[in-house]
A and B are shown apart, each in its own frame.
Chain A
Amino acid sequence: MVFAIEVVIGGLLVGVMYSLVALGFVLIYKASGVFNFAQGDMTLLAALALVGFLTFLPLWLAILAVLVIMIALAFAIEAVVLRPLVARSPLALFMATIGLGFFLQGIGQGIWGTDPKGLHIGISDIPFDVRGLMISQFDLVGAVLSGGSVFALVWFFQKSRIGRALRAVSDDHEAALSVGIPLGRAWAITWAIAGAVALVAGVMWGTRLGVQFSLSLIALKALPVLILGGIDSIPGAIVAGLIVGASENLAEVFLGPYVGGGIQTFFPYLLALLVLWFKPYGMFGREIIERV
């Protein structure tokens, strides 16, 4: 029984970290209607850059430097990829982000190398003992950081002026343009925020798994979170992240031995498919009403 609770709590904590990755997707989708398949590769790039800078800079300066790089990258992506494709279908933009993902992957690994690197930011992994339950300290810190980022983003979108402008852009590009919101700048800001989210996610997951190519595959684990919660819903990302994290762990531990193990790769997808059947736009996603 205690073990089951431990599994659930461990799953929940991992789930919050999944939500963080999914949040990057949600942000970009909310503000520019683009499903950014390159989010995982942006995470990898941020982590690689951080490890590279940590060799000769202190931690806080390295994080700042990577942040600057991600913001510059966001402006570059907006100018080179998004602006020429502004009037095109969402499918074309999606495929452009797939290409962008490969490009960033290649650049990141080309500059900083493909061998796995360790990332140490000073958080130990010694488990806490809470009334008999073992909880990983690192997971806890990760969950707190992710939760904090989520709250900060929700506040930003709801209360700040720029956040309102971004929400307007996500609702209707043309209407936002007609009101005078600079579309290009709004997109660049969104991608920059998503880049910052990618940095936090990269730091967390990089410390957990080591900085290597498989970090970009974390995005593939965040996709079920995304479609379960709805592509354009921030609370959906959080809730779905918790559900996916917990259910993945539970399934692997309790169902896994019956079927040979390794089901945590696809179990979240099955769960998401099941929910999608009843709610085709995810649990909290906005339903698109099509008019002919």
Chain B
Amino acid sequence: MIIRGCPTQHEHYEEEFRSMIYRECGVFKATYQEDMAIFPIPLDRWGLTVILFVAFVMIPSLASEYWLSSILIPFLVFSLAALGLNFLTGYAGQLSIGHAAFMAVGAYTALILYGRYEVPLLLSLLGGGFVAAAVGSVFGIPSLRIKGFYLAVSTLAAQFIIEWVLTHWKWVSGGVFGTVDTPPMRIFGWPIDTPVKKYYLVLCFVVPLTIFGKNLVRGQLGRAWMAIRDMDVAAEIIGISLFRNKLLAFTVSSFYAGVAGGLITFTYYGAANIEAFNIMVSFHLLGMIIIGGMGSVLGSFFGGAFITLLPIFINQFARAFGAVLKTDLLACIDLIIFGGLIIFFLIVEPHGLARLWQTLKEKLRLWPFPY
């Protein structure tokens, strides 16, 4: 222990600074690579390492099967789908309310490739994504001419048309009207049957795709999308090809939706049923990105967690108040809360939970100083 007298003014300030652990000063960047890093603040990088460690090591060993299979897997998969929708609606500004249909396309394609044609599982899931991307780009063609609410309603057309095609086209639905069970999963002969293995499968798709997505929106394509969202006439004037970028937005977002659809069919539902991708799911995805934050990769995950956990909280809440409220009201309370929360977030924090998180980090950067 160093014994010294009363600290001088300079030492006193240094102590204050040392308690500012979340700061960018003192971090010197010597290369362009360091300058363009996604996480410039060292604490952020540590935080990311911790999160990945928790996700890959701690959760599978500590979490119960119920948590893994009923909460974490849907959370991850729907966050992936919400991320795709965020590319289209949050970054590129094209409102889409038929996104669940692309999940369905990915699901059925993956199932057909794996179940009928014996394509390896990973390739089937990616194949589902690619086919969904192709279908999505077809339904993105109207975006060349149509804007705003008209475009939103045409994406609704995608929802209905795809629903009809998947149920009536015999080659797809295998002659069975509705549900097609998934065959047991194997990767290179190694069976994926426990929740832990399914969790790893989902994680191994979600993490690389999220990193890819984060870099995509920080790059040229993401900036073009944001320019189109903010003022597309001006974007066109400075040379951004509207059609190409809008179409790419539809393609990429449908790819993510397709992969998510395939994943959720194989790891959560166990069967492909078009009812699992109906219009309510589309609205839930939209709610996820509104509450989580449009135009934010992290926001998709916040929104996904919120919407996935909401029914569980409501269940517990309802049980606590079960004696007081009518049963009919209890049954509909998740609709009321879902709708109310969307309005609440739009009024209070239009950029969603991600903006709240960002504000917190900004305050942390200056802590303990107020500004």
Contact = CB atoms under 8 A, between A and B. Distances in A.
B346 A266 contact: no
B332 A96 contact: no
Interface string A258-292: 01111101100110110011001110000010111
Interface string B326-349: 101101111111111111001100
A5 interface: no
Interface stretch (B195-203, B229-237, B263-271, B358-366): B229-237
B339 A99 contact: yes
A92 B146 CA distance: 19
Interface in B277-333: 279, 283, 286-287, 290, 326, 328-329, 331-333
B339 A95 contact: no
Interface string B143-161: 0011111101110110011
B168 to A, nearest CB: 4
Contacts of A110: 326, 328-329, 331-333, 336
B333 A102 contact: no
A106 interface: yes
Contact of B150 (A99, A263, A282): A282
B341 to A, nearest CB: 7
A227 interface: yes
A260 B346 CA distance: 43
Interface in B221-253: 231, 233-234, 237
For B157, B168, B337, the residue with the greatest tally of chain A CB atoms inside 10 Å of its CB is B157
Interface stretch (A55-63, A83-91, A141-149, A200-208): A83-91
Contacts of B153: 223-224, 226-227, 269, 272
For this complex, into which size category does the number of interface residues on chain B fall?
A: 35 or more
B115 interface: no
A99 B154 CA distance: 20
B157 A106 contact: no
Contacts of A96: 342-343, 346-347
Interface residues of A, number: 54
A103 B335 contact: yes
Contacts of B339: 98-106
B150 A277 contact: no
Interface string B119-163: 000000000000000000000001001111110111011001101
A227 B150 contact: yes
Given A96-B343, A99-B343, A265 B160 contact: yes
Given A91-B95, A99-B343, A103-B336, A281 B326 contact: no
B164 interface: yes
Contacts of A290: 233
B55 to A, nearest CB: 31
A162 interface: no
Contacts of A259: 168
Contacts of A266: 157, 160-161, 164
A91 B233 CA distance: 18
Interface string A215-231: 00000100110110001
A238 B271 CA distance: 43
A152 B333 CA distance: 38
Given A35-B149, A99-B343, A101-B339, A94 B286 contact: no
15 contacts: A90-B148, A99-B346, A102-B338, A107-B332, A109-B331, A112-B328, A114-B332, A220-B279, A226-B153, A262-B168, A266-B161, A266-B164, A270-B161, A280-B150, A292-B234
Interface of B: 93, 95, 142, 145-150, 152-154, 156-157, 160-161, 163-164, 167-168, 231, 233-234, 237, 279, 283, 286-287, 290, 326, 328-329, 331-343, 346-347, 350
The 4 closest A-B pairs by CB, nearest first: A99-B342, A102-B339, A106-B335, A103-B339
